């Protein structure tokens, strides 16, 4: 379905000061309204102000800095006008893709640069000329030192997930990069947490910044009015979301559910996918005419449709009395929207259920919501295929029982009697049960996808007083930490960031899953989350650290 433009949405983004090309892009991406951080940050950023933004992933912070940046920089200058520093290569790729998406109409050239990628390839693109660079600090510094990256034309610098960059030991690299960028520039610093280290960076590098705090919007006015509903969150990564939603729908079998997505395009896509899977879903978003919306609502009230997939804007003011479930396909970007969304169930003494599918990275947003609502959201694993099968059998048992109690079975007596000449009564019952069960299925049983179980990123002890040397990164609360022995120490010239780089790069895990790093003369002990320990050992066995092959194993000392 092609997205229709929505003048009202454009109006809101236009009021923030964004120009026609960006408005066009936002409309084609299906964004219906700015998120709180976008509302607060964009007008100031467009005026050229520096910014200290406290916001976690999922709040829409990337667009909050990328949109004004794209409007302000000189595009096509052949030298980079903006540098965005991020902690990991995954994020470098993600942010670069976002900037590319937002800047498409403007013809912006974006290049992600991170370790592990060939220098030659990066050089080729750099020579051709790029407008925006998204880089991890280590690799950006390498390029600066080799003289392959010139930042004299820089007008905007963004430090994204700055707390994470510090946790990963990038403090020195950041200082070195900041020494190379022009003093006259706009600087934006985003962090999920605020502590003395972030404050000191902000004091040193930001000029009279405006402060935007989204991570702690607990003082909001909607905290008191939260309905009593059963609230569950399932942690699931993007590629498994659709399967997870299907699983949840099958298990919960909602009478009527409202499924929320962030954008109009997501609504259209999900509706189509759900219908393809045999569910009865209709889309509702701000790009639809009143007539279309009325038609959809009529279908829902009449029961020909039991799933409504909607954006926040479209669902505002809807009154659906028999709604049993609200499902957040993504965690809403503001805690207040969560409260509004779940307020649609659990009315008039009915039991309501609110289910949220969250990516592991979005765990912080969930906790933010818990703080606002003062209610617990149970974080559970997506039910397994075995759970699903058990639940389906339970449903079959319940329907057969109901059908026996209902009566009217006499016309089948002759069938059973005839079959009983040949078979045992118990076997006949089993055969009938199988037929009845299979009739309720949309596809063959056994084809269901097993959805990987995800663990939340642990809350970090962002203890700001940690020793600077030899101990690096956040120590974790709770159990599940494994110690790894690495046969390279101070005498081999290893630094915490080398290890963090090698571990995140080679094993593909997040910096937040690495705990303390204790470097001794001849070896190093690194703490990692136990659930990834094996993966790290395996990955490092074949990798080189500081150009050397090193011994890596689980440390048995504890
Ligand atoms: P971020 O917090 O930057 O990681 O963004 C989280 C997600 O929200 C991304 O998938 C964005 O595409 C999406 N997003 C950002 N701004 C908006 C908006 N105003 N409306 C809908 N979705 C948005």
Tell me, what CATH number does 337's domain have? 3.40.50.300
Q: Which of 349, 383, 417 is the last residue of a domain?
A: 383
DSSP bridge partners of 354: 231, 326
Torsion region of 496: left, alpha or beta (phi above 0 gives left; psi -120 to 50 gives alpha): alpha
Contact yes or no for 317/343 (Cβ under 8 A) = no
Question: Do 289 and 370 belong together in one domain?
Answer: yes
Element (H or E) spanning 113, and its range?
strand 110-113
Identify the sign of the CA torsion 157, 496, 237, 479. Answer: negative
458 vs 26: CA distance, rounded Å? 34
DSSP bridge partners of 52: 189, 211
Instruction: Pick the residue whose CA is nearest to atom 19 on ligand 1.
Output: 34
Ligand 1 atom closest to the CA of 31, numbered from 1: 20
| CA angle in degrees (0–180, nearest 5) for 528-530-533 | 65
Name the burial class of residue 220, with classes exposed (0-12), middle (13-18) and buried (19+) by CB atoms within 10 angstroms of its CB: middle
Q: In a structure prediction context, what are the per-residue pLDDT tens digits for the chain, which is 558 residues long?
A: 444 445 555 899 999 999 999 999 999 999 999 999 999 999 999 999 999 999 988 899 999 999 999 999 999 998 999 999 999 999 999 999 999 999 999 999 999 999 888 888 889 999 999 999 999 999 999 999 999 999 999 999 999 999 999 988 999 999 999 999 999 999 999 998 888 999 999 999 999 999 998 854 444 444 445 566 889 999 999 999 999 999 999 888 888 999 999 999 999 999 999 999 889 999 998 888 889 988 999 998 888 888 999 999 888 877 777 889 999 999 999 888 998 898 888 766 667 899 999 998 888 889 889 988 888 899 988 888 888 888 888 889 989 999 999 999 999 999 999 999 999 999 999 999 999 998 877 667 777 778 888 877 644 433 333 333 333 333 333 457 788 888 888 778 888 778 888 888 788 787 777 877 777 777 888 888 888 888 888 888 888 887 778 888 887 644
Question: Do 258 and 119 belong together in one domain?
Answer: no
pLDDT score at 3: 42
pLDDT score at 7: 55
Residue 106 in domain:
yes
Residue 295 in domain:
yes
Question: Do 185 and 47 belong together in one domain?
Answer: yes
Cα of 509 from ligand 1 centre, angstroms: 23
Question: Do 167 and 108 belong together in one domain?
Answer: yes
Element (H or E) spanning 215, and its range?
none
Question: Do 57 and 194 belong together in one domain?
Answer: yes
User: How many CB atoms are closer than 10 A to CB 299?
Assistant: 15
Residue 51 in domain:
yes
pLDDT score at 221: 47
Instruction: Pick the residue whose CA is nearest to atom 11 on ligand 1.
Output: 60
Name the burial class of residue 147, with classes exposed (0-12), middle (13-18) and buried (19+) by CB atoms within 10 angstroms of its CB: exposed
Report how many domains make up the chain. Answer: 4
Cα of 397 from ligand 1 centre, angstroms: 44
Question: Do 356 and 400 belong together in one domain?
Answer: no
Cα of 34 from ligand 1 centre, angstroms: 9
Residue 440 in domain:
no
Distances (CA, A) of 341 to 311, 361, 422: 10, 21, 57
> Which of 22, 62, 331 for mutating ligand 1's site (highest number of atoms within 8 Å of CB)?
62
Distances (CA, A) of 34 to 14, 39, 309: 10, 6, 20
pLDDT score at 350: 65
CB within 6 Å of ligand 1 — which residues? 31, 34-35, 38, 57-63, 262-263, 333
Place of tokens 């069938």: 415
DSSP bridge partners of 135: 85, 113
Residue 251 in domain:
yes
Residue 42 in domain:
yes
CATH code of residue 483: 3.30.70.330
Cα of 57 from ligand 1 centre, angstroms: 9
Q: Which of 213, 241, 276 is the last residue of a domain?
A: 213
Residues in the chain: 558
Question: Do 182 and 96 belong together in one domain?
Answer: yes
pTM of the model: 0.71
Instruction: Pick the residue whose CA is nearest to atom 14 on ligand 1.
Output: 60
Instruction: Pick the residue whose CA is nearest to atom 22 on ligand 1.
Output: 262
Instruction: Pick the residue whose CA is nearest to atom 5 on ligand 1.
Output: 60
Cα of 254 from ligand 1 centre, angstroms: 28
Contact yes or no for 497/168 (Cβ under 8 A) = yes
Cα of 263 from ligand 1 centre, angstroms: 8
Residue 220 in domain:
no
Question: Do 124 and 235 belong together in one domain?
Answer: no
Question: Do 196 and 313 belong together in one domain?
Answer: no
455 vs 478: CA distance, rounded Å? 13
Question: Do 364 and 395 belong together in one domain?
Answer: no
> Which of 23, 60, 102, 266 for mutating ligand 1's site (highest number of atoms within 8 Å of CB)?
60
Residue 412 in domain:
yes
339 vs 356: CA distance, rounded Å? 12
> Which of 9, 15, 31, 63 for mutating ligand 1's site (highest number of atoms within 8 Å of CB)?
63
Question: Do 44 and 157 belong together in one domain?
Answer: yes
Structural domain boundaries, residue 517? 469-554
Question: Do 200 and 288 belong together in one domain?
Answer: no
DSSP bridge partners of 525: 485, 518
Place of tokens 């592991």: 360
């Amino acid at each position: 379905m092609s997205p229709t433009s929505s003048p009202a949405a454009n109006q809101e983004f236009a009021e923030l000061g964004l120009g026609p090309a960006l408005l066009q892009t936002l409309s084609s991406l299906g964004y219906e309204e700015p998120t709180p951080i976008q509302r607060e940050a964009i007008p100031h950023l467009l005026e050229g102000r520096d910014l200290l933004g406290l916001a976690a992933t999922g709040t829409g912070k990337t667009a909050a800095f990328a949109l004004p940046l794209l409007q302000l920089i000189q595009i096509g200058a052949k030298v980079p006008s903006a540098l965005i520093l991020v902690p990991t290569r995954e994020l470098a790729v993600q942010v670069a893709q976002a900037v590319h998406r937002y800047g498409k109409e403007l013809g912006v050239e974006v290049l992600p640069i991170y370790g592990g990628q060939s220098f030659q390839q990066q050089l080729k693109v750099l020579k051709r000329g790029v407008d925006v660079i998204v880089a991890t600090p280590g690799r950006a510094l390498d390029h600066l030192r080799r003289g392959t990256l010139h930042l004299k034309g820089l007008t905007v610098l963004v430090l994204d997930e700055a707390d994470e960059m510090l946790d990963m030991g990038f403090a020195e690299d950041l200082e070195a990069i900041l020494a190379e960028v022009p003093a006259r520039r706009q600087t934006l610093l985003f962090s999920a947490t605020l502590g003395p280290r972030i404050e000191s960076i902000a004091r040193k590098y930001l000029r009279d910044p405006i402060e935007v705090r989204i991570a702690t919007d607990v003082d909001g006015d909607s905290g008191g009015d939260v309905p009593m509903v059963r609230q569950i969150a399932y942690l699931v990564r993007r590629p498994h979301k659709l399967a997870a939603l299907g699983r949840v729908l099958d298990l919960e079998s909602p009478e009527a559910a409202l499924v929320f997505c962030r954008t109009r395009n997501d609504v259209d896509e999900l509706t189509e996918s759900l219908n393809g899977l045999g569910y009865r879903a209709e889309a509702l978003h701000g790009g639809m005419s009143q007539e279309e919306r009325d038609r959809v609502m009529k279908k829902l009230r009449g029961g020909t449709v039991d799933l409504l997939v909607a954006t926040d804007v479209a669902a505002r003011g809807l009154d659906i009395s028999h709604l049993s479930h609200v499902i957040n396909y993504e965690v809403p970007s503001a805690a207040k929207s969560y409260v509004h969304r779940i307020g649609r169930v659990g009315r008039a003494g009915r039991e309501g259920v609110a289910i949220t599918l969250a990516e592991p990275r979005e765990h912080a947003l969930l906790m933010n919501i818990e703080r606002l609502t003062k209610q617990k959201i149970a974080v559970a694993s997506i039910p397994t295929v075995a759970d699903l099968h058990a639940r389906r059998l339970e449903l079959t048992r319940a329907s057969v029982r109901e059908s026996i109690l209902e009566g009217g079975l006499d016309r089948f007596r002759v069938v059973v009697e005839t079959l009983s000449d040949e078979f045992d009564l118990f076997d006949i019952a089993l055969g009938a049960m199988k037929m009845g069960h299979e009739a309720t299925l949309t596809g063959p049983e056994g084809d269901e996808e097993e959805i990987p179980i995800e663990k939340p990123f642990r809350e970090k002890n962002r203890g700001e007083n940690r020793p600077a040397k030899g101990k690096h990164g956040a120590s974790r609360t709770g159990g599940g930490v494994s110690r790894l022995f690495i046969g390279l120490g101070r005498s081999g010239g290893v630094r915490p960031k080398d290890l963090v780089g090698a571990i995140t790069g080679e094993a593909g895990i997040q910096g937040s899953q690495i705990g303390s790093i204790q470097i001794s003369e001849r070896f190093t002990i690194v703490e990692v989350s136990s659930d990834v320990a094996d993966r790290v050992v395996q990955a490092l066995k074949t990798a080189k650290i500081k150009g050397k092959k090193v011994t890596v194993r689980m440390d048995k000392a504890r």
